[in-house]
A and B are shown apart, each in its own frame.
Chain A
Amino acid sequence: QKEVEQNSGPLSVPEGAIASLNCTYSDRGSQSFFWYRQYSGKSPELIMFIYSNGDKEDGRFTAQLNKASQYVSLLIRDSQPSDSATYLCAVNYNQGGKLIFGQGTELSVKP
Chain B
Amino acid sequence: EPEVTQTPSHQVTQMGQEVILRCVPISNHLYFYWYRQILGQKVEFLVSFYNNEISEKSEIFDDQFSVERPDGSNFTLKIRSTKLEDSAMYFCASRTGSGNTIYFGEGSWLTVV
Binding site for B on A (CB under 8 A): 31-32, 34, 36, 41-46, 49, 51, 88, 90, 92, 95-104
Q: Are B104 and A102 in contact (CB under 8 A)?
A: no
Number of A-B contacts defined by CB within 8 Å: 49
Pick the interface stretch among B13-21, B39-47, B67-75, B76-84: B39-47
Complex CA–CA separation, A97 to B56 (angstroms)? 8
Majority DSSP secondary structure for residues of B touching A: strand
| Residues in B whose Cβ lies below 8 Å from that of A44 | 43, 91, 104
5 pairs of A and B residues whose beta carbons are closest in the complex: A101-B43, A98-B45, A43-B104, A32-B100, A103-B42
Interface mask (B23-39 → A, CB under 8 Å = 1, otherwise 0): 00000000101000000
Q: Are A34 and B56 in contact (CB under 8 A)?
A: no
Q: Are A99 and B45 in contact (CB under 8 A)?
A: yes
Of the candidates B41, B48, B50, B101, the one having the most CB atoms from chain A within 10 angstroms of its own CB is B101
Of the candidates B41, B56, B102, the one having the most CB atoms from chain A within 10 angstroms of its own CB is B102
Q: Would you call B22 an interface residue if the criterion is a C-beta within 8 Å of the partner chain's C-beta atoms?
A: no
Q: Are B91 and A98 in contact (CB under 8 A)?
A: no
Q: Would you call B106 an interface residue if the criterion is a C-beta within 8 Å of the partner chain's C-beta atoms?
A: yes
CB within 8 Å of A: which of B75-113?
Answer: 89, 91, 95, 100-107
Residue contacts A-B, CB under 8 angstroms, 21 given: A41-B89, A42-B106, A43-B104, A43-B106, A44-B43, A45-B104, A46-B102, A46-B103, A49-B101, A90-B43, A92-B100, A95-B100, A96-B31, A96-B95, A96-B100, A97-B48, A97-B56, A99-B43, A99-B45, A99-B102, A101-B43
